[in-house]
Structure 1
Amino acid sequence: MRRILFYIYRVLLIPHIVLYLFSANKETINKDLDRWCAAKSIKGSKINSLLYLLCHSNDFRTIFYFRIKSPIKHILKLYCKGEQNFTIDVNTKLGGGILTGHPYCTILNAESIGENFYVNHLVTIGEINGKKPSIGNNVSIYTGAIVIGNIVIGDNAKIGAGAVVVKNVPANTTVVGNPGRILTNKKH
């Protein structure tokens, strides 16, 4: 019975596939798909992988809807909702390859976020007085972290669980604590 429902749901997702195929952001969506498929050990074509993730992951749907710039997405959200408590500000420039770890109550409101970003739940990336953070490539931000203000998070940085970051973070570092302090600095 469950398998039958899955196939019925896949039919309902056909408009999503059409939007994907004609999206100006198809290349970026493909980067997201590749990262999710690698992390979740999903095999198959892009279309089958997309259908699987749209069926089984509310947070992936939220990212997908963010990438699709068509007003039709609002209709699709009526019967195929994204994660209700995962917010990506419409003005955020978000690179491809984002991966989430159940981003319940997560807010992404940055100037820009680079490629291969990982974010966990209860994370706030936000502004102070209209100034937003810029986040580099390959950055990971873990549970409960807060990154706010006109700051830069360098490439390959890791922001530990519960860290509060209000100052620039150099590349290749790990930040922990409140206030955030650099724990490691790896030389590449």
Structure 2
Amino acid sequence: MRDVLYFFGQLLFLPHVLLFIFSKEREVIAKDIYAKKNFNPSLVHQIYSLSKELLTNKYFRTLFYFRTNGIVSKILRFFYPRNSSFIIDVNTKIGGGLQLAHPYATILNAEKIGENVYVNHLVTVGEKNGKRPIIEDGVKLYANSIVIGGITVGKNAIIGAGAVVVKDVPENAVMVGNPAKMTSS
């Protein structure tokens, strides 16, 4: 019975599917869809997975509208709203495979966010004195972490829960505390 309800619910997102099919960001959106599961190159499977994510996940819907920013996207937002507590600045460049773990009250305002980045809830990535951070590939931002200013967070770094990062972070580092310090392994 649940699958039948999902099927009819997914039909409501046919305009989104068309937007996906004709989007120049289709490849990046597909990486977002499969950020937490194995990639399936079949367009039919991608469409099914996309419509299911859009139906069940307002955070993913917010990311989808960010990726397909345009007049059609703005019209669809009126009928199928995004999550108002998850904010992505329009000038932020985000690589594919963004993993969103219920990013409630999260703000992403970076110069650039790389591929396969993990974002938890209550995360703030923001500017300080007009400068915005660069988050490289594979970074994990855990709950209530803050990254601000014109800094770079290196590849595969982990920003622990509650960490406040205001200085550059090297690759593969684990940062904890306020102010954030690198832990020794």
- Once the two structures are superposed, what CA deviation does each residue of 1:146-171 show, in whole Å capped at 9, x if it has no partner? 10001000000000000000000000
Instruction: Give 1:4 deviation, angstroms.
Output: 5.0
Asked if residue 31 in structure 1 is aligned to residue 37 in structure 2, the reply is no
- Structure 1's unaligned 5+ residue stretches are none
Pairs within 5 Å for 1:79-118: 79-118=79-118
Residue equivalent to 1:162: 162
Distance 1:93 1:157 in 2: 19
Pairs within 5 Å for 1:111-150: 111-150=111-150
Identity of aligned residues (%): 49
- Structure 2's unaligned 5+ residue stretches are none
Instruction: Give 1:86 deviation, angstroms.
Output: 0.2
Distance 2:183 2:30 in 1: 34
Residue equivalent to 2:66: 66
Distance 1:161 1:82 in 2: 26
Instruction: Give 1:145 deviation, angstroms.
Output: 0.5
Q: Which runs of 4+ in 1 moved over 4 A?
A: 1-5
- Once the two structures are superposed, what CA deviation does each residue of 1:71-90 show, in whole Å capped at 9, x if it has no partner? 11111112212221000000
- Once the two structures are superposed, what CA deviation does each residue of 1:88-125 show, in whole Å capped at 9, x if it has no partner? 00000100000111000000000000000100011100
Pairs within 5 Å for 1:46-61: 46-61=46-61
Distance 1:184 1:150 in 2: 25
Distance 2:91 2:171 in 1: 24
Distance 2:104 2:10 in 1: 25
Residue type of the alignment partner of 1:96 = G
3-state SS of the aligned residue for 1:45? Answer: helix
